[in-house]
Structure formats: structure tokens, C-alpha cells
């Protein structure tokens, strides 16, 4: 099944995507800390309240996650293009709920940065509370999967050896469009790609992750409790704009799509800084 957090006539809902309609789930206004797998399965489908998908605003799949974890350097080709050593432990950094955008929202360039880059990523949505989770049990914690574009301000990222100031800008990271439950997708066969203005600039497979999803969940839950609605952006493949020759950075009017096979795609228009 595929689930969406959306807004219709200024009211927020969780809906099940059924063809070209959103069928609201009674009692749920957003995916988040209340949405375990059991809650989603048991929720009453309000078929009479169904609305066309083109009549709603698609919100970030989890609008208010308690934690957003991002993984750097998690594909071999991306590690090589950055001229770094292969990691032996996942490179982790945070984003915040305020960093997130809807799957089709505009990406507004900040006036402070002129090196804005794309990074297509598969994203894990946690569905159960857990701490010190064994790798063998880790996939039982997953509510589903979605897609993200880890927009990065490279000039700010490089200011220090920590990355947060380049990664955690407000309203910068599209996540969505929907959550696909684990039984609906075979990630071992899923490709991931990013397209900018019709040109494919990233193209890889989820199977190429250096640290796979169970390893990431086990590692993160060692030092902090994972809760329903928490997000893990699993890393980006090679082909990021900053490392291309010449660099391919984002500008006003660009169209950017990130797609994961069987999961979905975020598609965003880039707009220049506000006046």
C-alpha cells in the first residue's frame, strides 16, 4: 500500500493512494509518531471522502519527524568522486523537520549560497519504537520507504569539517511523494536516478549501498531511540553536481526529479532567491 500526508481544503489528512484518488484514513491527520504498521492497517478507510490526487497538496510524507538522520558517503562511486577513503562506519548528520518540503514543492534557492546541489536518496520511514536493535530484527522496525532529494549548499558544507551548515537549511529537502510499505517493493532490484532538466545525472541501484538498511538502523539505534515517523536518508550515488566537470549546480528554472523504482519520485522546480 501507498500512504500520503496531504492537505485538502486547508485540512490535513493521511490518505491511502488508490488509483487517482486519496482515500482518507479516519482519525489520522499526518504520518508520524502514531503511525505504526498496525495503526495503518486498522484505520477505517473513508471511501466517501475520497478526493482526486490533483485536488490536494502533497505534504512531506512525515511533516514532523522527531529525528531525521542522513547518511553520507554510502555508495562506492560517490566516495570515489569525493576522493575520500572508504568509510568503515556510517557517516551521519542531522536534518530537522523544518528542513523538509513536499514532493512537488518548489525549491527556493537561498540568497546566501551560489553552490546548491542535488542528491537523490532512498529514505526509510521508521514504524516502531526501538533501541539497540539487532541487524537481524531491523527490517521489522520499518514502516515503509519514500524518496528524498538531499539538497546541499556546498559552499556552506565546506566551511568546516562538520556538514550540518550545508545540509540542514529550512525548506530545502523534498520528501515523498508517498510511503510505500515494505511488502510492495523489492529494493534488491530497485534502481535510483536523478534527472536535471531532462538529463540523467545520477543512476545506480539500492543494492549498491555500502551500509545497508539493517546496518543503518542497528547503528543509529545504538546511540538513540528510534520512533515511528523518524526518517533515515540512506545516501546518494555518484554524479552529484559539485563533482562534475564542469560542475552542474542548481539555478532558477531548473527541473529536478529523483526516482526510486517501485517507491516513487519527487519532482521540483527550482526558483531563485526571494526578492
Each residue's pLDDT tens digit, 203-224: 999 999 999 999 999 999 999 9
Q: What pLDDT is attached to residue 109?
A: 98
CB within 8 Å of 192: residues ≥ 6 apart: 120, 121, 122, 202, 203, 204, 205, 206, 237, 258, 259, 260, 261
Domains of the chain (ranges; CATH) run 2-58 (no CATH), 68-271 (3.90.850.10)
Question: Is the pLDDT assigned to residue 84 strictly greater than 90?
Answer: no
* Alpha carbon distance 32, 45 (integer Å): 18
* pLDDT number for residue 231: 98
Grid cell listed for 159: 566551511
Asked whether the predicted pLDDT for residue 37 surpasses 90, the reply is: yes
Looking at residue 274, what is its pLDDT? 85
Strand order across the beta sheet in which 199-205 lies? 107-108, 264-271, 255-260, 191-196, 199-205
Contact (CB, 8 A) for 5 and 101: no
Helix (H) or strand (E) holding 17: strand 11-18
pLDDT value for 9? 95
pLDDT tops 90 at residue 82? no
- With bands split at pLDDT 50, 70 and 90, how would you rate the model's confidence at 11? very high
* pLDDT at 271 exceeding the cut of 90: yes
User: pLDDT exceeding 70 applies to what percent of the chain?
Assistant: 100
User: Residue range 9-29: average pLDDT?
Assistant: 96
> Which segment of 65-69, 81-85, 95-99, 158-162 scores lowest on mean pLDDT?
81-85
Give pLDDT, residue 275: 78
Buried b (16+ CB within 10 A) or exposed e, 92-116: ebebebebbbbbebebbbeeebebb
| Mean pLDDT rounded to a whole number for the chain | 96
Does residue 246 register a pLDDT over 90? Answer: yes
**What is the mean pLDDT of the segment spanning 148-163?**
96
**All cell numbers assigned to 54:** 490533483
Buried b (16+ CB within 10 A) or exposed e, 188-211: eebebbbbbeeeebbebbbebbbb
pLDDT tens, residue by residue, 91-136: 999 999 999 999 999 999 999 999 999 999 999 999 999 999 999 9
DSSP of 94-162, one letter per residue?
EE-GGGEE-TT--EEPPTT-S-EE--EEEEEEE-S-BSS--GGGGGGGEEEEEEEE--EEHHHHTTSSS
Tell me the pLDDT band of 71, cut-offs 50, 70 and 90: very high
Amino acid at each position: 500500500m501507498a500512504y500520503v500526508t496531504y492537505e485538502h481544503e486547508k485540512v490535513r489528512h493521511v490518505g491511502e493512494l488508490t488509483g487517482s484518488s486519496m482515500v482518507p484514513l479516519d482519525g489520522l491527520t499526518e504520518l508520524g509518531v502514531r503511525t505504526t504498521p498496525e495503526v495503518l492497517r486498522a484505520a477505517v478507510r473513508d471511501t466517501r471522502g475520497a478526493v482526486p490526487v490533483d485536488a490536494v497538496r502533497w505534504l512531506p510524507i512525515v511533516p514532523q519527524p522527531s529525528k531525521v538522520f542522513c547518511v553520507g558517503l554510502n555508495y562506492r562511486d560517490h566516495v570515489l568522486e569525493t576522493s575520500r577513503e572508504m568509510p568503515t562506519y556510517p557517516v551521519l548528520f542531522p536534518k530537522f523537520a523544518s528542513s523538509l518540503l513536499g514532493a512537488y514543492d518548489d525549491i527556493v534557492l537561498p540568497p546566501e549560497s551560489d553552490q546548491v546541489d542535488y542528491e537523490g536518496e532512498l529514505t526509510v520511514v521508521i514504524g516502531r519504537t526501538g533501541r539497540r536493535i539487532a541487524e537481524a530484527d531491523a527490517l521489522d522496525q520499518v514502516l515503509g520507504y519514500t524518496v528524498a532529494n538531499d539538497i546541499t549548499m556546498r559552499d556552506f558544507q565546506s566551511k568546516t569539517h562538520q556538514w550540518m551548515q550545508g545540509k540542514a537549511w529550512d525548506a530545502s529537502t523534498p520528501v515523498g511523494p508517498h510511503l510505500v510499505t515494505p511488502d510492495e517493493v523489492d529494493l534488491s532490484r530497485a534502481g535510483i536516478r536523478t534527472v536535471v532538466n531532462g538529463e540523467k545525472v545520477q543512476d545506480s541501484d539500492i543494492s549498491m549501498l555500502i551500509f545497508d538498511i539493517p546496518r543503518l538502523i542497528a547503528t543509529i539505534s545504538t546511540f538513540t531511540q528510534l520512533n515511528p515517523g523518524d526518517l533515515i536518508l540512506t545516501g546518494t550515488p555518484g554524479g552529484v553536481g559539485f563533482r562534475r566537470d564542469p560542475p552542474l549546480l542548481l539555478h532558477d528554472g531548473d527541473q529536478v526529479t529523483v526516482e526510486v523504482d517501485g517507491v516513487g519520485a519527487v519532482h521540483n522546480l527550482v526558483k531563485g532567491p526571494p526578492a
